[in-house]
Structure 1
Amino acid sequence: MEEELESIIGHLSLRDNEVVRHFTSLLNITRIDHFHTIVGKLHCPRVVSHYSIGNCRNIWSIHHGFTVRLVGENMVHFKFSDRIDRARVLHGEPWLLCWKHLLVLKPSDDLNVDFNLCPWWIQFNHCPLDLMNEDFARFAGNLIGQYMDVFRDGDRNFIVRFLRIKFNINITTPLLRVLQFEHEGKEIKIPLKYERLSEFSIIVE
């Protein structure tokens, strides 16, 4: 049994070892500092360097410095010197770096981090006035993804021109272009506009 185990270990590929280091690095991050760090992943078909990902400072517009360390394939650990900068990055998603999605999350003791779910603002154009409210926003959330928030214009529950809703969406699956449903005996079709849409996403009817 021991000889068989040694044989298996001896044939581990470099990629297998990289996965082990990836999870070990992530575990170490979560134990160091929960208040100044985030983990991120760039959804890109090719591997990029941490120097390229470090250019996200230009899109974040933060006031203080941060460090970048690779912990996996296109996965990085950011450590911020200022908590406000960190909060701005976490709440400002979705982020696009070179037209690719950069997903960022708080470090967690749970190593099964899902980097496929991304907070996204979607504009509902030509939405019937009686549907421009939070109740409909939550209904739409069950059809598209997970409802998170709806933009309010002052004390009102809707925007005059269009409804703007924030969802948690799986970006690895095709995205809807039009939301279709039945309302008061009529078929309703509402065009959807995804803000900051990258070329990596797939749009379908």
Structure 2
Amino acid sequence: MDTNFIERLQSIHLTEEEGEVRKVRSENRAKILEEFSLSLMGRFHTTKPINFWAAKNLRRSVWKLGHDLKITDIGEGLMQFKFSMESQLKWVLNNGPWSFDNHLLLLKRWEEGMTTFIVEFNIVPIWVQVWGLPFDLINEKARKDIGGGIGRVLEMDCKAIAADQACFLQIRVELPLDKPIQRGALVLSPKGVRVQIAFQYERLVGLYFSCGKLGHEAKECLSKVSATMGERLYGEWLKVGV
């Protein structure tokens, strides 16, 4: 289903006969809603075709759920992952981002009333490491201040700070997909000193080095930055494996 078709559907003006409201009945609706409540909707962040069978088998293997995990290909790249328990679903959401063949898998929890027309994937939750802060600024408050400038802060790893072993901050944020990723920032210390910090992203895949965005091909990039213009602004150094 292409974008033009969806836009056309949404702009249709129904005739009087077409616009007559039709009540839809559903048998065992409570049970169906309960089953769907343990579902994630997913789509790979790429324009390339994906081997659905291989991707499905890999998810079952990596998530260690076997056939307890039901995966349905809804069409046009959209998938439904149905879990047996809430704890399984939350573990998958909290331990991403996940990927296949160097393509990010974007996930969103199912909501009542959701349709293929309105499912949007605008963010990816990801852990960000913040390097270069003065040691006296490596604290929980700094995590919130810095993380909020990257995306909505979801979680902070406080174990290293509690153990007095922190040499960088670690923040999990919702990274917006419509903007280039941030390479660093300037922070102002309590004494008014400006410090430049650098970011690294854990389990980051699909980064296009010419523009800093995720999940599209060179032919689709509108960035005017070219490899012939010298050193690229983005590179492998932004990634960190865990």
TM-score bracket relative to the smaller structure: 0.7 to 0.9
- Residue in 2 that maps onto 1:193: 200
> Residue 131 of structure 2 contacts residue 169 of structure 2 at CA under 8 Å; is this kept in 1?
yes
Alignment of 1:61-80 (within 5 A): 61-62=64-65, 65-80=68-83
- CA displacement 1:37-57 (0-9 Å, x = unmatched): 211111012132431330222
Indicate the SS of the match to 1:143. coil
Structure holding more helix per residue:
1
Return the alpha-carbon distance in structure 1 between the equivalents of residues 36 and 143 of structure 2.
Answer: 32
User: Can you give the 5+ residue segments of structure 2 that lack an aligned partner in the other structure?
Assistant: 10-28, 214-232, 235-242
Amino acid at match of 1:127: L
Structure holding more strand per residue:
1
Return the alpha-carbon distance in structure 1 between the equivalents of residues 121 and 163 of structure 2.
Answer: 31
Return the alpha-carbon distance in structure 1 between the equivalents of residues 70 and 77 of structure 2.
Answer: 15
Indicate the SS of the match to 2:162. coil
Aligned residue pairs, count: 186
CA distance 1:77–1:167, change in 2 (3 Å): same
Greater length-normalized contact order (CA 8 Å, ≥ 6 residues apart): 1
Identity of aligned residues (%): 23
TM-score, normalised relative to structure 1: 0.75
Amino acid at match of 2:77: N
| Correspondent of 1:41 among 35, 43, 59 | 43
- Residue in 1 that maps onto 2:128: 122
Alignment of 1:18-167 (within 5 A): 31=33, 33-54=35-56, 55-62=58-65, 65-109=68-112, 111=114, 112-153=118-159, 156=162, 159-167=165-173
CA distance 1:198–1:31, change in 2 (3 Å): same
> Residue 40 of structure 1 contacts residue 78 of structure 1 at CA under 8 Å; is this kept in 2?
yes
Query: What's the Cα RMSD here?
Result: 3.2
> Residue 123 of structure 1 contacts residue 193 of structure 1 at CA under 8 Å; is this kept in 2?
yes
Runs of 4+ in 1 over 4 A off after TM superposition: 12-15
TM-score, normalised relative to structure 2: 0.65
Return the alpha-carbon distance in structure 1 between the equivalents of residues 199 and 59 of structure 2.
Answer: 27
Return the alpha-carbon distance in structure 1 between the equivalents of residues 41 and 193 of structure 2.
Answer: 45
